[in-house]
Structure 1
Amino acid sequence: MNEETIKPRKRWITDWWPNKLNLKVLRQNCETSNPYGRDYDYISEIKSLDVDAVIRDLKELMKTPQDWWPADFGHYGPLFIRLSWHSAGSYRIHDGRGGARNGSIRFSPRINWPDNIGLDKAIRLLWPLKKKYGKKLSWADLIILAGTVALEDMGVEIAGFSLGREDIYEPDESPDWGAEEQMLSGKKRFKEGTLEKPYAATEMGLIYVNPEGPGGNPDPKGSAEEIRLAFARMGMNDEETVALIAGGHAFGKCHGAGPGKHLGPDPASSSLEQMGLGWSYGYKTGKGPHAYTSGLEVIWSSTPTKFGLQYLQFLFKYEWELERSPDGKHQWVAKDAPEIVPDPYDPQKRHKPRMLTADLALRFDPVYAQIAQRFLKNPKEFENTFAKAWFKLTHRDMGPKSCYMGPYVPKEEFIWQDPLPPRGYELIDAEDIKDLKKKLLESGLSIPQLVYTAWSSAASYRHSDRRGGANGGRIRLHPMNQWEVNHPEHLQKILPVYEEIQRSFNELQESRGTGKKVSIADLIVLGGCAAVEEAARRAGYNVEVPFSPGRVDAREEHIDVEFYKEIEPFADGFRNYFKDPTSFDEGDVYTTPEYFLVDRAQLLTLTVPEMTVLIGGLRVLGATYRYEPHGVLTDHPGVLTNEFFVHLLDMGVEWKQADPHRYLFRGYDRKTGSQRWTATRADLIFGHHEELRAVAEVYAADDGKEKFVLDFVEAWNKVMNLDRFDLKMPS
């Protein structure tokens, strides 16, 4: 073949400019991608779902083997548990991404991770039920329900289950799944004994840790260190970790019947005729007794379809000897044990118990061992702890309890659900709101202070796991009141002002016998709304910023302290905050302030225009970190004008680097050479990036002034109410 006959691969724009800021994550899963259409309301559909009928169908399905993919031990329950676990288990606390709430395990990259080999088959086994119930039952709910029902069918008294997970119809293309160029690349995510944020898995392509041990090294103590770190990154403590491993490994087996060289490509890379099924295995039959997933061949219990203590009993009873699986991978065999473990397909065969290096971590780590031995002595405690940990594992990204639906929602409310006290008073009305706005504007707090405090409270929300937000007023409490970006020293002076307004109002209402009260949480948001209205008035526009009362004040006992410590922001472009301006690499866009601005916007469910207009508004309102002038491209801060965009795009200004890190820039008048402005990368990106500039030009235009104000108010209102599930969920 000569050179002229070779056709070059066609290139995407990102192939030519791989370091360009990608805004696609702000356009994902729009309403037009949902085949059910704009009017489809899954939460309403759930009301007519017969959940008990689904449970009956699942239990029947689990015991009805299919020739195309046989069931180990005649029961698909262990496979469905693994599917549910791996759907939920990719959750990580630092950005709330992963998890089970949107059914994204069906898509790349997760369905193609080596740790998920075989789960494409589990999803196809559930297709008859999804087909039967259609739009009334999402894949996301069905996948978690399948594992939960499997546990119940095999003897676990479950803690409960909630419906309400809505499917997405395109993959999550966030680049933060990993920077590695290959799967299972070893310990590159570890730096100085810790795991690079935001990751929870120790290697690209894993859910948690390498089951063979750190980087494939069969070191149980080293594995324990990785397990503790990985599970903590997913919000699990030591007790929950031991319960989940011991409870999950009470069931089923690992698969590694032969050499890994016979394994075909992942689902996305497989040939067209495989119809989306991947990892075909060319060893003997390639399924059933000859199946391959992890390359390990391990059965932990002599009752692998029944919940019990055998995993823990075997772990401590026997001495374990290192061996190699048929694929040559490190695993352990109980050398002094009889052959008491059943074969999944041949009733005449028995095997010795086997374990993974990650299993032996529970024996050789002193803290894990103490917990495991306590569970051994207290079977009911073990089952209860496992059931609650499973519920947390599979529900922790669903948000507060008000988002839970169905007949099996547990009565107990957990700290990781961000509980709030009930509202035992009447709401303020329109006249009260008008009066309180006046008091807030006359309180001595400036427009920048009112706006910054409201934004800091509300924009702590992240839709990935529905946590944070203004409801509860957690900005008043530890540790959010100590977050650097929230101005702890200013909050000490600002919060007492709100408290005095609250005290005065509530005492007046009590004397009148109205039953009305106002929360600090509501006052903080109302203060921001009042400030935006006043700033718009100063710009010549009379607008009413929507406000919905009803937020309540959390108390310190309602705060998941360790969680909120872990998620303290290191970057927030909306407030022009970047903790360490020396830490990013301009040659890697995914380390830059502008990337983390887009990342935050995606967690706030913002579109490109919403992100853009909010930046422009917050800047001219002076709501910047430490109220510094960076990005405040106006001579009249506190007035809601479009001047940020006008001056950003002004060709009479020349921008120059102002520090060695290329974080801060100065704008100079081209004629006089005098300095006009300072700005950060998070500001200049709206003039540099062609897509963002196209939107910025709309707001900078002479006829864009009113549109800017109206669009800012609409986007502001959206952010202020992102966590108002009490307004969104059906009664």
Structure 2
Amino acid sequence: MDGNDMSSGGKCPVMHGGNTAMGSTVTGWWPNALNFDILHQHDVKSNPLGADFNYHDELKKLDVEALKDDLRKLMTDSQEWWPADWGSYVGMFARVAWHAAGSYRLADGRGGAGTGNQRFAPLNSWPDNVNTDKGRRLLWPIKKKYGNRVSWADLIVLSGTIAYEVAGLKTYGFAFGREDIWHPEKDTYWGDEKEWLAPSNSRYADIERPDTMANPLAAVQMGLIYVNPEGVNGQPDPMKTAAQIRETFARMAMNDEETVALTAGGHTIGKSHGNGLAENLSPDPEEADVEYQGIGWMNTKGRGVGRDTVVSGIEGAWTSDPTKWDMGYFDMLFGHEWELTKSPAGANQWKPVQIDEKDMSPDVEDPSIKTMPMMTDADMAMKVDPVYNEICQKFIADPEYFSETFARAWFKLTHRDMGPKACYRGPDVPNEDLIWQDPIPAGPVNYDIGHLKTKIAESGLSLSDMVATAWDSARTFRGSDKRGGANGARIRLAPQKDWPGNEPDRLAKVLAVLEPLAAEAGASIADTIVLAGNVGVEMATKAAGHDVTVPFEPGRGDATDEMTDADSFEPLEPLADGFRNWEKDEFVVSPEEMLLDRAQLMGLTAHETTCLLGGMRVMGANHGGSDLGVFTDNVGALTQDFFVNLTDMGNTWVPVEDKMVYEIRDRVSGNVKWKASRVDLVFGSNSILRAYAEVYAQDDNAGKFVKDFVAAWTKVMNADRFDLVS
């Protein structure tokens, strides 16, 4: 047969399914293998704007008022291809922004609107995000016009804020500064269900107890951002739905009053769409074929727009005037009795038992035609739950208070994952410091750093105490929502001072030494903690035969208890820290997987993770002084010993405690040389980590190891220094 014969599918030079088929990736063939993609998911090579691009510089060129004016015009500039309900897009853009921000969760800080990730799978194709693709297409001409001066992430959130302004709300403010990502955050864990909207029972230890939902999840089902609007697992029961709402919104950092304000304010404008059959829709954007050009859920039968639009399957508006900010939601909900019914799409919803035609909602295409309003099970929860009902009555009695509370809650919803105010840009940033922004005062910079380092070195603190305390202070940083870190020195405040991972007794001893030194030098405690860690690292490099000065930037401030929402800091508690060889408890997730999760939140790459862990071991910085993984006879010196001895084939590795502790034995004599954890040994067993470990074990890389460790250490210590970013 001719070697160029393409008559057989097997001769085709293209690897069919090479990007998607099961088994085409390492994790496909070996599903239990560690997946390092999460550490490199935003590699600079994916960014088309180049390494020199600085979004904050581009923002300085942005004509903010012109942009806002263009968005105001867009709100009533109905497009024939996707006509606006009642000639207004305010409901559309409020929803697009809401559903971008609403994926945020407090447990790990992931999700949210801060990266523009709604443009990519899976979020762009979640059932709950149906037709948000139309909103982004409507925004495209504006994005095209302003180009690099505004990110998609900022534009999406701003469009929702302007929508409420156009509807008549006095908004609280807006901050630019969200930088776009360029490919999906595909390794974020959204649940283990294999189908959209699968029954949520698997997410709970007990479906009757919403607080048993598995962490870090917040939404009740795969493909939703909050709760199922039809009821728990689609079964109407407003009281049960209220319990799920309370837990879900709490996991998104909202209290009861904010929850009611957001629910009522979100349903004051716009409508739900279910005037048709879902089976007539084309596939979601990610599944749709090329002719759809990234647009999904198009109706393949009939018009599919205007009054015939299908989105959630629930059909109807909540108020009599759905493009206006008013008290209409409360008037409708509390002015009528309600009964269960079905939408034309077959969804469960509630309708008034009796209503005057004048109080009904206008048809989206012909306002002279009146249509039946509706409420979802989530709306009915606001009425039947005693606490939610009481808050509703408070809002009804004081409409201005309702508007102010919603405006603040909307600002929090859309800015929660941006981090501190140092990350905010633009003319509309509110002056007020809000406790959920984790405010930190500016710290002193004009003090004698050299003198303070000398005092620290002479203080009697051990190298391991200095390094461990600085590390514990900094390791809480989460790049996901830019919370935590060493700035603020919150390690000395509740709840951090009492976390088991911070070794409270040792921490108190170290702080008792460092705090007077900080006061004497005129430095912040936050700076002094980091500087002490740097002193420890410099001592370790010197002991290894290197003369290195660890970079240091003064200016950290000290937060107070009054500046700290202690409850919201509870989720930042490390449950494990592989860098210090510690776990709070045994978990279903392996220690090595928890190490990768921690490293990703801290913004570390695989080789930085490797370098830091090996260095922490030889410096003796393990939690509680544990000897696990301390593969050296020269503890306190920043040597390559961890990697050299890990990769030494003169050793054998033997599990002794249910494969959680291992002995490193001499292959010939059988003598035990060291002990190790799974986290230690994964750097020799995993092919990717071993490749990095071998680099740091090479005879010619002693200097490189020290250089790389210092760079990675400095990155961790400065991860939250947004005041240093231009």
**TM-score grouping bracket, smaller chain normalisation:** over 0.9
Which aligned pairs between 1:486-501 and structure 2 lie closer than 5 A?
A: 486-501=502-517
- Whichever residue aligns with residue 90 of structure 1, its letter is S
Distance 1:85 1:184 in 2: 20
1:679 corresponds to 2:676:
yes
The answer as to whether partners of 2:618 and 2:637 remain within 8 angstroms in 1 is yes
Which aligned pairs between 1:545-560 and structure 2 lie closer than 5 A?
A: 545-560=550-565
Could you tell me how far 1:213 is from its partner in structure 2?
A: 0.8
Equivalence for 2:165: 152
Could you tell me how far 1:114 is from its partner in structure 2?
A: 0.4
Aligned to 2:340, the other structure's residue is in SS state strand
* Count of residue pairs brought into register by the alignment: 703
Could you tell me how far 1:72 is from its partner in structure 2?
A: 0.8
1:664 corresponds to 2:655:
no
Alpha-carbon displacement from aligned partner over 1:585-642 (angstroms, at most 9, x marks no partner):
xxxxxx2111121111111111111111001111111111212111111122111001
Which aligned pairs between 1:228-627 and structure 2 lie closer than 5 A?
A: 228-339=246-357, 340-423=360-443, 425=444, 427-428=446-447, 432-503=448-519, 505-506=520-521, 517-581=522-586, 583-584=587-588, 591-627=589-625
The answer as to whether partners of 1:73 and 1:343 remain within 8 angstroms in 2 is yes
The answer as to whether partners of 1:111 and 1:120 remain within 8 angstroms in 2 is yes
Distance 1:567 1:231 in 2: 18
Equivalence for 1:107: 120
The answer as to whether partners of 1:283 and 1:290 remain within 8 angstroms in 2 is no
* Distance of aligned partners of 1:482 and 1:650 in 2 relative to their CA distance in 1, 3 Å threshold: same
Distance 2:203 2:316 in 1: 28
Distance 1:294 1:308 in 2: 24
Q: Which stretch of structure 1 is more off in the superposition, 401-410 or 567-576? A: 567-576
1:190 corresponds to 2:204:
yes
Could you tell me how far 1:352 is from its partner in structure 2?
A: 2.9
Instruction: Give the counterpart of 1:129 among 142, 150, 155.
Output: 142
Could you tell me how far 1:6 is from its partner in structure 2?
A: 8.2
Equivalence for 2:94: 81
Query: Taking structure 2 as the reference length, what is the TM-score of the superposition?
Result: 0.95
- Whichever residue aligns with residue 96 of structure 1, its letter is G
- Whichever residue aligns with residue 686 of structure 2, its letter is H
Which of structure 1's runs of 4+ aligned residues deviate more than 4 A? 4-10
Alpha-carbon displacement from aligned partner over 1:374-405 (angstroms, at most 9, x marks no partner):
00010000000000000000011111111111
* Distance of aligned partners of 1:426 and 1:678 in 2 relative to their CA distance in 1, 3 Å threshold: closer
The answer as to whether partners of 1:295 and 1:325 remain within 8 angstroms in 2 is yes
Distance 2:395 2:321 in 1: 18
Distance 2:197 2:139 in 1: 28
Distance 1:227 1:40 in 2: 41
Could you tell me how far 1:447 is from its partner in structure 2?
A: 0.9
Distance 2:247 2:320 in 1: 30
Could you tell me how far 1:502 is from its partner in structure 2?
A: 2.3
Distance 2:572 2:721 in 1: 21
Distance 2:526 2:548 in 1: 23
Distance 2:506 2:331 in 1: 56
Could you tell me how far 1:345 is from its partner in structure 2?
A: 1.1
Name structure 1 gaps, 5 residues minimum.
507-516, 585-590
- Whichever residue aligns with residue 186 of structure 1, its letter is P
Equivalence for 2:4: none
Could you tell me how far 1:312 is from its partner in structure 2?
A: 1.1
Could you tell me how far 1:351 is from its partner in structure 2?
A: 2.1
Distance 2:171 2:470 in 1: 40
Could you tell me how far 1:552 is from its partner in structure 2?
A: 1.2
The answer as to whether partners of 1:258 and 1:283 remain within 8 angstroms in 2 is no
Aligned to 2:272, the other structure's residue is in SS state coil
Equivalence for 1:509: none
Equivalence for 1:39: 52
Distance 2:161 2:179 in 1: 18
1:50 corresponds to 2:63:
yes
Distance 2:574 2:383 in 1: 37
- Whichever residue aligns with residue 690 of structure 2, its letter is R
Distance 2:608 2:9 in 1: 48
Aligned to 2:316, the other structure's residue is in SS state coil
Name structure 2 gaps, 5 residues minimum.
1-7, 19-23
Could you tell me how far 1:704 is from its partner in structure 2?
A: 1.4
The answer as to whether partners of 1:213 and 1:357 remain within 8 angstroms in 2 is yes
Distance 1:624 1:534 in 2: 17
Distance 1:28 1:563 in 2: 27
Could you tell me how far 1:175 is from its partner in structure 2?
A: 4.1
Which aligned pairs between 1:136-215 and structure 2 lie closer than 5 A?
A: 136-187=149-200, 188-192=202-206, 193=209, 194-215=212-233
Q: Which stretch of structure 1 is more off in the superposition, 697-706 or 441-450? A: 441-450
Distance 1:690 1:578 in 2: 24
Aligned to 1:332, the other structure's residue is in SS state strand
Equivalence for 2:700: 703
Distance 1:320 1:252 in 2: 20
Equivalence for 2:3: none
Instruction: Give the counterpart of 2:108 among 81, 95, 98.
Output: 95
Distance 2:27 2:702 in 1: 34
Aligned to 2:417, the other structure's residue is in SS state coil
Could you tell me how far 1:39 is from its partner in structure 2?
A: 0.8
Could you tell me how far 1:347 is from its partner in structure 2?
A: 2.4
Alpha-carbon displacement from aligned partner over 1:415-449 (angstroms, at most 9, x marks no partner):
011111244x5522xxx222222221222211111
Distance 1:94 1:658 in 2: 34
- Whichever residue aligns with residue 146 of structure 2, its letter is Y
The answer as to whether partners of 2:350 and 2:375 remain within 8 angstroms in 1 is yes
- Whichever residue aligns with residue 552 of structure 1, its letter is G
Q: Which stretch of structure 1 is more off in the superposition, 283-292 or 48-57? A: 283-292
The answer as to whether partners of 1:298 and 1:354 remain within 8 angstroms in 2 is yes
- Whichever residue aligns with residue 245 of structure 2, its letter is I
Equivalence for 2:21: none
Alpha-carbon displacement from aligned partner over 1:290-324 (angstroms, at most 9, x marks no partner):
11111110210001000111111211121110001
Aligned to 1:321, the other structure's residue is in SS state strand
- Whichever residue aligns with residue 352 of structure 2, its letter is A
Could you tell me how far 1:225 is from its partner in structure 2?
A: 0.5
* Distance of aligned partners of 1:628 and 1:522 in 2 relative to their CA distance in 1, 3 Å threshold: same
Could you tell me how far 1:550 is from its partner in structure 2?
A: 0.8
Q: Which stretch of structure 1 is more off in the superposition, 223-232 or 627-636? A: 627-636
* Distance of aligned partners of 1:95 and 1:121 in 2 relative to their CA distance in 1, 3 Å threshold: same
- Whichever residue aligns with residue 374 of structure 1, its letter is K
Alpha-carbon displacement from aligned partner over 1:340-360 (angstroms, at most 9, x marks no partner):
211111223212321000100
Could you tell me how far 1:9 is from its partner in structure 2?
A: 4.9
The answer as to whether partners of 2:70 and 2:142 remain within 8 angstroms in 1 is yes
- Coordinate RMSD, CA, aligned: 1.4
Aligned to 2:196, the other structure's residue is in SS state coil
* Distance of aligned partners of 1:533 and 1:149 in 2 relative to their CA distance in 1, 3 Å threshold: same
The answer as to whether partners of 2:316 and 2:372 remain within 8 angstroms in 1 is no
Distance 1:580 1:291 in 2: 50
Query: Taking structure 1 as the reference length, what is the TM-score of the superposition?
Result: 0.94
Identity %: 51
